[in-house]
Structure 1
Amino acid sequence: MLPRGLALAAVSDIAGALLMLLAFVAFALQGFASKGRMRLFWMLQAAGWALWFGDQLVWITFDLILQQKVPSMYPADALLFLAGAPMIAGLLLRPHRQTSASNARLGLLDFLLLLLWWLYIYVAFVVCWQYPSPNAATYSRNFDLLSGAETVLLTGVLLLFWRESSGRWKRFYALFCGAVVFNGVVFYALNRALEKGIYFTGSWYDVPYCLSFVFFIAVALSGRELAPASEGAADGTYSSWMASLAMMAVLSLPIIALFALLDPRLPPQASRFRVLVTLATVFLMAFLLFIQHRLLNRELRRTNVILEEASLTDPLTGLRNRRFFSATIESDVSHTLRAHSDGHDLRTRDLVFYLIDADDFKDVNDRYGHDVGDKVLVEMARRLSSSIRHSDVLVRWGGEEFLIVSRYTDRAEAELLAQRVLAAVADTPIALGGTRETIYRTCSVGWAAFPWFLDNPRAISYEEVLTLADRGLHQAKELGKNRAIGILP
């Protein structure tokens, strides 16, 4: 063993403190240089080192200023244990994966539930023997068990992420895991020596302990310019696993409280303390679960809106599809019938259907390929959209066929819109992507107005009027294409 002395203690304590401070600075600088979840990951690591450094300052105070042994069951022990909590928390953010904003919000709440549970375990099983019912032996045993469990948990998370990562992230996790294991083994040996009364500040135990801090500094430096990879298929499984673990943590609280009440070996003060701590933790967890429930409901509503919108939209052109037409046409027809029965303004009470078909579209696909054909359809959709009013609806009817539902209009002006559509498609050449080549395309239009008979609006259904518009389209094709044919009574 090395000889004791104030100078040796000063060298050991100050060297350890400086190395901890360097580790804190290294992790914090990485955080300032990062953004988003990466910044939060680095800052949580730095927070762990700040707590560790705070514990070291307590040791320096006792060793060098007060020159006395640190009392057993000292409150600063919590700093040493809690230092691992933000480190694990940072890793549970899964920094090597770029997750969606909604998954990040929900995952953060699961992480907070687990963090709260971990702090609860420390208070219930360690602080319980520190204040309400002091017992140095039980305190030390539980503290050592939880510290060991924390190291095992941190190592397990690092190994899991090492396995699923690649490249620089894999090397980073390997180095991080090595540093944690080395520090854990050294800390266990140091703690055992402390309990046996053979440890003193500056003994040889401090050399590998300080060396472990150097490894952590290397971990921080190796993380320069690390960036999260895109979200993978396994991320949903990970999120589900995290959520299940958080629920298990919540459900464990009543069981722990029940054991505290029924265990005859537990002193009454300790039993009451654990029950009170459990009730307080249950309240906090219930609050977090309430927030999570609200977020899940909001996310579910948003997802339903997105899915409904997708089901009503044509994926190629971005136009409405036939499903949208089927879902909304009854409302438009009812409005038109009411307008006629109430004697509304003649200029805004009709419903006109325009069926539009791209002329000779098969030739485009045969000559240029389906990719160019798709681009022609997208450009046609854009031009048709620019030629109609905001109150009109443009639908991709199928293939190269489109439908315009012109609402709140007058059939006397229907031909004007038809001519505007023909001009929008035919007047300007369409550029072929990737080349300077352009092509001119035309379309044919058939239209009909609803109601068919003004004096008897309900005599002919809108489906029959659509069929009449389709007949007009076929006549336009037969008469030479690039024209509009309206079918009227």
Structure 2
Amino acid sequence: MGVMPEGNSHSAEAWLSRNLVGPTPAQGTSPADVLNRCFRLSVLPVVLAISAVLVAVMWYREEQLGLITWADRIGYPLLLMVTSVGAVLLKTRPASLRAVMAMVFFAYVIHLLAVYYSEMAGRWLTGNSSSYELTILALWLPLGYVGSFVFFSPRTALLASLGLFAAIAWPQLVLLAVVSDPVARQVAIAILISQPVYIASLWGVGMLKAHTKGMQDLARSMTAAATIDPLTGVANRRAVVQVLERLTQNPQDPVRPLALMLLDVDRFKAINDTHGHAVGDEVLVTLSRQVNAHLRSTDLLGRWGGEEFVIIALDQTPAQAVEMADRLRAVLEATPFPQVGTVTVSIGVTGHIPGERFDTAINRADDALYKAKQQGRNRVEGLFGEA
């Protein structure tokens, strides 16, 4: 675990996520997102680059075989340009992610519908259509629906898919009204039935993923509520106990020096009696922020109860722990507290002896804290047992 230089703050929730409950899902994404934004930014440029190559290959092959249509002559250059430019934009301007996804989707749909209407017009005007183009349409049409649910939120994807379906459905409805050929009518009916099935299936998957993301957010919120002190935002007593149990009772973990500090606000009752409990709460919040700002990323600050806090510091010798505690004491003494002025703290320091219960070390730190109080407050006292 790396060490953050002093002066950098860190949140208790982030510390607990790394060291107690494991990493949580990435923040900052809407429950409607099908894929994580970071995943999209890393994978989508590669997908677009490969797509550009495939479009060029299909364009070349159809030209060679004489299968190219007027719709392809418009659609292939458009797709080639959009996929190539999109891949470059995502690498150079990540903020363009939404615009690129929309651009790729609509370019694909425009090409798809151009080929489709070309075939339908040929059938109506001449009574002929290309079996090759119809086969290509049958293969690639579902990808339009898939793309909408990959690129957009479930609601937006549903609207886009229904729009695409409407654009495909109305010529088939016209065909049913004017054509008597049973095979052609059956094909039209199959198209009208199969497309909503694609859309409904993808929408169901999208909603399931959104629900899963929502449950992950709820679980994360519940974890925070169970481990974070609501007033100060630092770890609560329950979380501190869980961390200490893990650090001191797991035989598979290598033995690392572990220092414990109990910090108590001097004459806190007088602050509450003189200025009121709201001011007392502000003192605790300010104190927590100041202490956190001077801890390393490997240290954890927790509220032990009332005006008493505990600090878990890994890889600290007794001398280093006492020096660290005295530095925190001096920082707090020099910190102006609104409506109160100067606030001092007393700190008891101890080290955990490998093999002992964590509460034994906590009791020893409490004895050291009591000694600091008896010696006049605003001081640090260390009490270290022998291994």
Q: What TM bracket, shorter-length normalisation?
A: 0.5 to 0.7
Deviation at 1:395, TM superposition (A): 0.8
Quick one: structure 1 residues 286 and 337, their matched pair in 2 at CA, closer, same or farther if it must change by over 3 Å?
closer
**Alpha-carbon contact 1:128-1:274 (below 8 Å) kept:** no
Give, as a single letter, the amino acid of the residue that structure 1 aligns with 2:267.
D
1:303 and 1:123 map into 2 onto residues whose CA distance is 46
Deviation at 1:461, TM superposition (A): 1.1
Deviation at 1:404, TM superposition (A): 0.3
1:354 and 1:450 map into 2 onto residues whose CA distance is 11
Instruction: Say if 2:266 is the partner of 1:359.
Output: yes
**Alpha-carbon contact 1:385-1:394 (below 8 Å) kept:** yes
- 1:485 matched to which residue of 2? 381
The equivalences for 1:446-461 within 5 A come to 446-451=348-353, 457-458=354-355, 460-461=356-357
Instruction: Say if 2:156 is the partner of 1:108.
Output: yes
Deviation at 1:132, TM superposition (A): 3.6
- 2:308 matched to which residue of 1? 401
1:131 and 1:365 map into 2 onto residues whose CA distance is 86
Deviation at 1:305, TM superposition (A): 3.1
Deviation at 1:417, TM superposition (A): 1.6
- 2:298 matched to which residue of 1? 391
- 2:149 matched to which residue of 1? none
1:132 and 1:372 map into 2 onto residues whose CA distance is 82
- 1:294 matched to which residue of 2? 209
1:335 and 1:394 map into 2 onto residues whose CA distance is 21
Instruction: Say if 2:340 is the partner of 1:444.
Output: no
Deviation at 1:334, TM superposition (A): 5.0
Give, as a single letter, the amino acid of the residue that structure 1 aligns with 2:223.
E
**Alpha-carbon contact 1:333-1:351 (below 8 Å) kept:** no
Deviation at 1:488, TM superposition (A): 2.4
> What is the DSSP-based 3-state SS (H/G/I as helix, E as strand, rest coil) of the residue aligned with 1:444?
strand
- 1:375 matched to which residue of 2? 282
Give, as a single letter, the amino acid of the residue that structure 2 aligns with 1:476.
A
Residue number among 337, 342, 356 corresponding to 1:430 in the alignment: 337
- 1:326 matched to which residue of 2? 241
- 1:213 matched to which residue of 2? none
**Alpha-carbon contact 1:447-1:469 (below 8 Å) kept:** yes
**Alpha-carbon contact 2:259-2:318 (below 8 Å) kept:** yes
1:427 and 1:421 map into 2 onto residues whose CA distance is 10
Deviation at 1:487, TM superposition (A): 2.0
Give per-residue Cα distances to partners, 1:242-299, cap 9 Å, x unaligned.
Answer: xxxxxxxxxxxxxxxxxxxxxxxxx886565323320132123323433443344344
Quick one: structure 1 residues 394 and 336, their matched pair in 2 at CA, closer, same or farther if it must change by over 3 Å?
farther
2:162 and 2:337 map into 1 onto residues whose CA distance is 58
Q: Which runs of 5+ in 2 are unaligned?
A: 1-151
Give, as a single letter, the amino acid of the residue that structure 2 aligns with 1:446.
G
Quick one: structure 1 residues 337 and 367, their matched pair in 2 at CA, closer, same or farther if it must change by over 3 Å?
farther
Deviation at 1:105, TM superposition (A): 3.3
> What is the DSSP-based 3-state SS (H/G/I as helix, E as strand, rest coil) of the residue aligned with 1:431?
coil
Deviation at 1:122, TM superposition (A): 6.1
Instruction: Say if 2:174 is the partner of 1:127.
Output: yes
Quick one: structure 1 residues 131 and 464, their matched pair in 2 at CA, closer, same or farther if it must change by over 3 Å?
farther
- 1:416 matched to which residue of 2? 323
**Alpha-carbon contact 2:169-2:192 (below 8 Å) kept:** no
2:159 and 2:272 map into 1 onto residues whose CA distance is 53
Give per-residue Cα distances to partners, 1:324-371, cap 9 Å, x unaligned.
Answer: 22332233225799645xxxxxxxx32111111111112222222222
1:408 and 1:368 map into 2 onto residues whose CA distance is 39
**Alpha-carbon contact 1:442-1:482 (below 8 Å) kept:** yes
Instruction: Say if 2:375 is the partner of 1:468.
Output: no
Give, as a single letter, the amino acid of the residue that structure 2 aligns with 1:399.
G
> What is the DSSP-based 3-state SS (H/G/I as helix, E as strand, rest coil) of the residue aligned with 1:405?
strand
Deviation at 1:133, TM superposition (A): 4.5
Give, as a single letter, the amino acid of the residue that structure 2 aligns with 1:324.
A
Give, as a single letter, the amino acid of the residue that structure 2 aligns with 1:326.
V
Give, as a single letter, the amino acid of the residue that structure 2 aligns with 1:328.
V
**Alpha-carbon contact 2:236-2:303 (below 8 Å) kept:** yes
Q: Which runs of 5+ in 1 are unaligned?
A: 1-103, 135-266, 341-348, 433-437, 452-456
Quick one: structure 1 residues 114 and 337, their matched pair in 2 at CA, closer, same or farther if it must change by over 3 Å?
closer
**Alpha-carbon contact 1:355-1:447 (below 8 Å) kept:** yes
> What is the DSSP-based 3-state SS (H/G/I as helix, E as strand, rest coil) of the residue aligned with 2:263?
strand
Aligned length: 236
Quick one: structure 1 residues 466 and 402, their matched pair in 2 at CA, closer, same or farther if it must change by over 3 Å?
same
Give, as a single letter, the amino acid of the residue that structure 1 aligns with 2:341.
I
Quick one: structure 1 residues 329 and 115, their matched pair in 2 at CA, closer, same or farther if it must change by over 3 Å?
farther
* More RCO (CA 8 Å, sep 6+): 2
1:383 and 1:352 map into 2 onto residues whose CA distance is 20
Quick one: structure 1 residues 401 and 107, their matched pair in 2 at CA, closer, same or farther if it must change by over 3 Å?
farther
- 1:204 matched to which residue of 2? none
Give, as a single letter, the amino acid of the residue that structure 2 aligns with 1:384.
V
Shifted more, 323-332 versus 300-309: the winner is: 300-309
2:370 and 2:211 map into 1 onto residues whose CA distance is 51
1:400 and 1:284 map into 2 onto residues whose CA distance is 58
Quick one: structure 1 residues 301 and 428, their matched pair in 2 at CA, closer, same or farther if it must change by over 3 Å?
closer
- 2:15 matched to which residue of 1? none
**Alpha-carbon contact 1:113-1:285 (below 8 Å) kept:** no
Give, as a single letter, the amino acid of the residue that structure 1 aligns with 2:308.
E
The equivalences for 1:57-136 within 5 A come to 105-109=153-157, 111=159, 126-127=173-174, 129-133=176-180
1:399 and 1:420 map into 2 onto residues whose CA distance is 23
Give, as a single letter, the amino acid of the residue that structure 1 aligns with 2:310.
L
- 2:10 matched to which residue of 1? none
Computing the radius of gyration over CA atoms, which structure comes out larger, 1 or 2? Answer: 1
Q: Provide the identity percentage.
A: 28
Quick one: structure 1 residues 416 and 336, their matched pair in 2 at CA, closer, same or farther if it must change by over 3 Å?
farther
